[in-house]
Amino acid sequence: MQLKILDTAFSIVKLLPSEPVPAWAMGGGLISITRTDEELSIVCPSDCLPVDAEFKGVEHGWACIKVEGVLDFSLTGIVASLANPLADNGISIFAISTFNTDYLLVRSRDIEKAKAVLERAGHTFSG
């Protein structure tokens, strides 16, 4: 599988489920917004976050690996082929799937190790 490490630092933010989607979460690039009965969860570039914002929870220091190309819905095991080798090597992930493709966030401190692990598992990186 062809992968790409995005050149952006990411944060994962937790807000109350009743809160509106904030304006800062409507910028460009990769932004994922998910609302459940328990939370409003936003993944966004760290530089989108206002300095004075109040969050229910926030995790900084994430890097993102993108699966290149458009994935057909009939494909199976894409995320597993990435997540399993990382888990076997003690690397935590935060996975995002979109209509077109999949993204894996890993701690920035683990990105080089994650790249090496995924290359050993047969994946290649562009860029």
Per-residue pLDDT tens digits for 53-88: 778 899 999 999 999 887 666 665 688 999 999 999
Question: How many residues appear in the chain?
Answer: 127
CB atoms within 10 A of CB 46: 16
The token pair at 25 is: 């979460």
pLDDT at 52 (0 to 100): 82
User: In this structure, what CATH number is given to the domain that contains residue 9?
Assistant: 3.30.2130.10
What's the number of domains the chain is made of? 1
Q: Which two tokens stand for residue 67?
A: 């699966």
C-beta of residue 28 within 8 angstroms of C-beta of residue 67? no
Low-confidence ranges of the chain (pLDDT < 50): none
Model pTM above 0.95: no
pLDDT score of 75: 62
What is the Cα–Cα distance from 44 to 59, expressed in whole angstroms? 11
Quote the pLDDT of residue 71.
67
Question: First-to-last CA distance in the chain?
Answer: 14
For residue 100, count other CB atoms closer than 10 A to its CB.
9
Q: What is the enclosing helix (H) or strand (E) of 4?
A: strand 2-5
Q: What is the pLDDT at residue 69?
A: 81
Domain holding 61, by residue range, is: 2-126
